[in-house]
A and B are shown apart, each in its own frame.
Chain A
């Protein structure tokens, strides 16, 4: 389709860019330890969501 080609030529935005944005992979997680969570929860006022200990993670190596 000519109009589609023109759009892509002008913007460089291809359908594949849009589809990638609409089907993202899950971002890598960055866990905080319990002390950091507690401090953040205190800083946020009444939040008490993150006070439980972090989920165990497999050890490397």
Chain B
């Protein structure tokens, strides 16, 4: 599918941001992933990229427990406030925004958004395992240890379906979906051992790890799997 120049630039900015997150998660000496204080076009593009990457933009601090950089939190907050979901936005857009607000509420006590209630999960009621896995992979930033939400509760009721979706994604060579599903599986109870999750994540990284969005999810899964929590 042909993409607009804007879409291409946005995706490139998101990938740059994701690379910084991966580096920070790996302890690569790049602890600040959100560009603080960037002005003008570059700053606005970076802001949009933060909104697209969602709560994962601050994932190193969340998973590793490092103190947040106030400048980074300010940029993150600006992204949350600049791009609220429209009333008719897709569920993944609303949940992504909710996930960002959840992180922000903890890091910035002065952030008082309007309604803090969760969006509903009705669009996943009775969803087939393929669609469920795709949507969960899109919402992988919600997959955090010791953090509960309705999407996570729904995923926890269907570990075998998510495992099937993971294997399907691997075999379709949809590395982003596989990595996102794998991240959820590291947190779900009742995942069959036969899925070969650890080896599967290795394989996903081997095949798709040059994509920073894939590498981010794999690294998040591994970090969460080691028991790092907030």
Contact = CB atoms under 8 A, between A and B. Distances in A.
Interface of A: 4, 7, 10-15, 17-24, 26-27, 29-32, 37, 40-41, 43-50, 54-55
Nearest to B92: A23
Interface string B56-94: 000000000000000000000000001101100110110
25 contacts: A7-B82, A10-B40, A11-B44, A14-B6, A15-B86, A17-B6, A18-B10, A18-B51, A19-B85, A19-B89, A19-B93, A21-B10, A22-B138, A26-B134, A26-B174, A27-B174, A29-B171, A31-B171, A43-B206, A46-B199, A47-B203, A49-B196, A50-B170, A50-B203, A55-B168
Which 3 pairs across A and B sit closest by C-beta, in order of nearness? A29-B172, A23-B90, A12-B6
Secondary structure class of chain A's binding surface, majority of residues? loop
B7 interface: yes
A26 B172 CA distance: 11
Of A15, A54, A55, the most chain B CB neighbours within 10 A belong to A15
Given A7-B82, A44-B203, A47-B202, A13 B177 contact: no
Secondary structure class of chain B's binding surface, majority of residues? helix
B223 interface: no
A32 B6 CA distance: 33
Nearest to B5: A12
Given A11-B45, A13-B44, A22-B52, A47 B14 contact: no
A34 to B, nearest CB: 10
Interface string B10-27: 110010000000000000
B96 interface: yes
A22 to B, nearest CB: 5
Contacts of B168: 55
A37 B47 CA distance: 40
Given A11-B9, A13-B9, 12 more contacts: A13-B10, A14-B6, A17-B7, A22-B54, A23-B89, A23-B90, A23-B93, A31-B173, A44-B199, A45-B202, A49-B199, A49-B203
Contacts of A11: 6, 9, 41, 44-45, 48
Contacts of B173: 29-32
